[in-house]
Structure 1
Amino acid sequence: MTDHPAAPAAGKAPAGGPAEGALLSVRGVDVGYRTGRRTRVTAVRDVSFDLYPGQSMALVGESGCGKTTLGLGLLRLLPRTGVVSSGEILFRRKDGRLVDVRTLAREDLRRFRWNEAAMVFQGAMNAFNPVLRIEDHFLDTFRAHEGGRRRPRKEILEQSADLLTTVRLDPARVLGSFPHELSGGMRQRALIALALALKPQLLILDEPTTALDILTQRSIVERLAELRDELRFAMVFITHDLGLAAELADRVGTMYAGRMIETGTTRDIFYRARHPYTSALINSVPPVAGDLTVPQSLPGGPPSLTALPPGCSFAPRCAHAVDACSHTRPTLDVLRTRTEGLSHAAACLRTHELLEGATRD
């Protein structure tokens, strides 16, 4: 990979209306959960980013940082206690219309899901109904999301067989099987085929390789990359696996305590991280090449979402914190401006002083 010229440009992370040409523009989104009659915990705070057609974005961070909540919120798939309480989720549909997903009526939202944007949930066994065969899941998906169109069963199953072949599964074996009769890797690939059934423009994947052996993970990662090139859909994938993010993503967003604290290209994040938390995540993973080094653990744990520190949420764990960090909340400032949403931005008061991102260059 070639280095980009360092040309810092002052500015703020995406705000206002949609970016020109963007498929998805998220603006100032807050997502909360009701924990009592009058109590709401905000799990995602003021998140903004742009995603362009064919682009892939990874969301990384510790458990509980808001990654899955954000992914579910983008498609309004939150549980009953969850709500996108503010902001805009602007999506450019196949017909060119720009809509705010938050305002879609129930039936329009049903047509939007799987036709325009689909999600592969964490844990394929739990995502499938255990008493339905795989073919029944395909039939239900097509009939529920095609806007009332009633196609013959044979036609749907023929298309389903083609989709399973696309993810390198044998339709003759898989379609008539119950989920528990398939291996973990086969279920995961069947779930990806199901998500691609109606040719969505956006695919959201939540930990797509969790609990799979390394060879199966490799197969799924390679096939996802090939499918994205073939079908040109955009991806948002949620992962703890930094290696997966490095391999599949065009850009990476680091989340901490519900906020997006750094975004940038894969090279920016892995070679020039400018937020101490992003650097700590990278340094906690042993390198697969070069000299053997001891991973550096990150002391402490994320703060409670009900009692966030008044300043930077990461300050209590940060080795580089100064007095100002305890009472000033940093904004996501643009460091480098590039085309198609690939700018590098970080939310740290000491961003321009720290050069930790070069630790593995």
Structure 2
Amino acid sequence: MNDLPAAPDAPDGALLSVRGVDVGYRTGRRSRVTAVHDVSFDLYPGQSMALVGESGCGKTTLGLALLRLLPRTGVVSGGEILFRRKDGTRVDVRTLEKERLRRFRWNEAAMVFQGAMNAFNPVLRIEDHFLDTFRAHERVGGRRPRGEILERSARLLETVRLDPARVLGSFPHELSGGMRQRSLIALALALEPQLLILDEPTTALDILTQRSIVERLTELREELGFAMVFITHDLGLAAELADRVGTMYAGRLIETGTTRDIFHRPRHPYTSALINSVPPVAGDLHVPESLPGGPPGLNALPPGCSFAPRCAHAADACTVTRPELEVLEPRDAGLSHAAACLRSTDTELHAEGVFRD
């Protein structure tokens, strides 16, 4: 049956419990590069978690791994992805065989892919995408007639403030970027999933369309009660949409906490550097500080802390010891503040203003 009892380290109330997940990509017949390493976190019903970091840090790979949507060369090589289904049973997504996995997707958890311009099949009308989604992912015995599916699809499009009469019969190229993005969100919500994963949902959209989508996502989460994993490099969107934020670097989760923790009291120099690289929209003006260098190659990670070569505050120990994610402030419901930094409690960095209170 693939159903698992609640694991000791998977809280009973958690919707999603990720435990020690490793994701690798095959680069040859016998070689593999690890793109995500030892990631663990809990997500509770109705919560929204943003994953932030530079390009190539593993955010999208982790999001795809949660639904086992990795390309052929990708594999979840370790850990558990424990999900509490609508009927209350817990399942490890890694163990689902093909047919059960297909029924799991979009029924329990769905994804809005990066790039609305290319996410639809260009030769199918929007109504055909809805029909295919319902017929491919609905549970056996739950097949609906075409008319009922289209009626449901029209209501979904209305929830994202689109005119079904215009959109359903259109091909993707006949819609604007914002309309396509909202259609993708409606499609992801078709089977009322408990978890919605969004990968850069506002990329390449103008600022007004971004604002409209962010506001509607916030409203839909309140109305429908689904949880969200929001993948972005836009810290402003993360601050607005997320209850929690996880910072990723070189395939590892290096800091997690509430939105207030991360943006007002960061405890990892990389998180501080990301925040300082963004110009403020309110308060005192300051010149954004660029972060020198770039992320390390995943097939040649430095010893010790992967961020140490770029960190202006690295100590000798940072170059030889890889820090683990340690809880700094324990809280309930997965809201603890944790950081993977040997100097996360260093009073010297507080005095220098690297860490703020």
Q: Same fold (TM over 0.5)?
A: yes
Q: Aligned pair 1:146/2:138, yes or no?
A: yes
Aligned mate of 1:113, from 105, 108, 121: 105
Letter of the structure 1 residue corresponding to residue 231 of structure 2: I
* C-alpha distance after superposition, 1:215-239 (max 9, x if no partner): 0000000000000000000000100
**Alpha-carbon distance between aligned partners in 2 of 1:62 and 1:20, rounded to the nearest angstrom:** 33
Q: Aligned pair 1:230/2:227, yes or no?
A: no
**Alpha-carbon distance between aligned partners in 2 of 1:357 and 1:27, rounded to the nearest angstrom:** 30
**Alpha-carbon distance between aligned partners in 1 of 2:163 and 2:123, rounded to the nearest angstrom:** 21
**Alpha-carbon distance between aligned partners in 1 of 2:144 and 2:46, rounded to the nearest angstrom:** 29
**Alpha-carbon distance between aligned partners in 2 of 1:91 and 1:211, rounded to the nearest angstrom:** 32
Letter of the structure 1 residue corresponding to residue 72 of structure 2: R
In structure 2, what is the equivalent of residue 285 of structure 1? Answer: 278
In structure 2, what is the equivalent of residue 9 of structure 1? Answer: none
Match of 1:300, SS?
Answer: coil
In structure 1, what is the equivalent of residue 77 of structure 2? Answer: 85
Aligned mate of 1:126, from 114, 118, 127: 118
Letter of the structure 2 residue corresponding to residue 230 of structure 1: E
Is the contact made by 1:271 and 1:357 (CA closer than 8 Å) also made in structure 2?
no
In structure 2, what is the equivalent of residue 58 of structure 1? Answer: 50
**Alpha-carbon distance between aligned partners in 1 of 2:258 and 2:59, rounded to the nearest angstrom:** 18
Q: By how many angstroms is 1:124 displaced?
A: 1.1
- Normalised by the length of structure 1, the TM-score is 0.94
Is the contact made by 1:272 and 1:357 (CA closer than 8 Å) also made in structure 2?
no
Q: By how many angstroms is 1:358 displaced?
A: 5.2
**Alpha-carbon distance between aligned partners in 2 of 1:44 and 1:150, rounded to the nearest angstrom:** 37
Once the two structures are superposed, the pairs formed by residues 175-186 of structure 1 within 5 Å of their partners are 175-186=168-179
Q: By how many angstroms is 1:17 displaced?
A: 2.6
**Alpha-carbon distance between aligned partners in 2 of 1:157 and 1:125, rounded to the nearest angstrom:** 23
**Alpha-carbon distance between aligned partners in 1 of 2:97 and 2:89, rounded to the nearest angstrom:** 15
Q: Aligned pair 1:35/2:27, yes or no?
A: yes
Is the contact made by 1:25 and 1:51 (CA closer than 8 Å) also made in structure 2?
yes
**Alpha-carbon distance between aligned partners in 2 of 1:180 and 1:74, rounded to the nearest angstrom:** 30
**Alpha-carbon distance between aligned partners in 2 of 1:122 and 1:309, rounded to the nearest angstrom:** 30
Letter of the structure 2 residue corresponding to residue 252 of structure 1: V
Letter of the structure 2 residue corresponding to residue 279 of structure 1: S
Aligned mate of 1:255, from 228, 245, 248: 248
Once the two structures are superposed, the pairs formed by residues 1-361 of structure 1 within 5 Å of their partners are 17-148=9-140, 149-353=142-346, 354-355=349-350, 356=353, 359=356
**Alpha-carbon distance between aligned partners in 1 of 2:45 and 2:199, rounded to the nearest angstrom:** 19
Aligned length: 346
**Alpha-carbon distance between aligned partners in 2 of 1:31 and 1:236, rounded to the nearest angstrom:** 18
Is the contact made by 2:245 and 2:256 (CA closer than 8 Å) also made in structure 1?
yes
Alignment CA distance shift 1:340-1:357 (3 Å): farther
- Which stretch of structure 1 is more off in the superposition, 200-209 or 15-24? 15-24
Is the contact made by 2:267 and 2:355 (CA closer than 8 Å) also made in structure 1?
no
**Alpha-carbon distance between aligned partners in 2 of 1:233 and 1:262, rounded to the nearest angstrom:** 24
Is the contact made by 1:335 and 1:343 (CA closer than 8 Å) also made in structure 2?
yes
Letter of the structure 2 residue corresponding to residue 312 of structure 1: C
Q: By how many angstroms is 1:106 displaced?
A: 0.6
Q: By how many angstroms is 1:147 displaced?
A: 2.5
* C-alpha distance after superposition, 1:322-358 (max 9, x if no partner): 1100000000000001110000000000110133565
Match of 1:78, SS?
Answer: coil
Letter of the structure 1 residue corresponding to residue 93 of structure 2: V
**Alpha-carbon distance between aligned partners in 1 of 2:150 and 2:286, rounded to the nearest angstrom:** 52
* C-alpha distance after superposition, 1:174-213 (max 9, x if no partner): 0000000000000000000000000000000000100000
Letter of the structure 2 residue corresponding to residue 18 of structure 1: A
Q: What residue ranges of structure 2 are gaps of 5+ in the alignment?
A: 1-6
**Alpha-carbon distance between aligned partners in 2 of 1:341 and 1:155, rounded to the nearest angstrom:** 39
Is the contact made by 1:16 and 1:27 (CA closer than 8 Å) also made in structure 2?
no
**Alpha-carbon distance between aligned partners in 2 of 1:156 and 1:272, rounded to the nearest angstrom:** 47
Is the contact made by 2:272 and 2:355 (CA closer than 8 Å) also made in structure 1?
no
**Alpha-carbon distance between aligned partners in 2 of 1:29 and 1:35, rounded to the nearest angstrom:** 19
**Alpha-carbon distance between aligned partners in 2 of 1:58 and 1:16, rounded to the nearest angstrom:** 26
Match of 1:237, SS?
Answer: strand
**Alpha-carbon distance between aligned partners in 2 of 1:225 and 1:132, rounded to the nearest angstrom:** 29
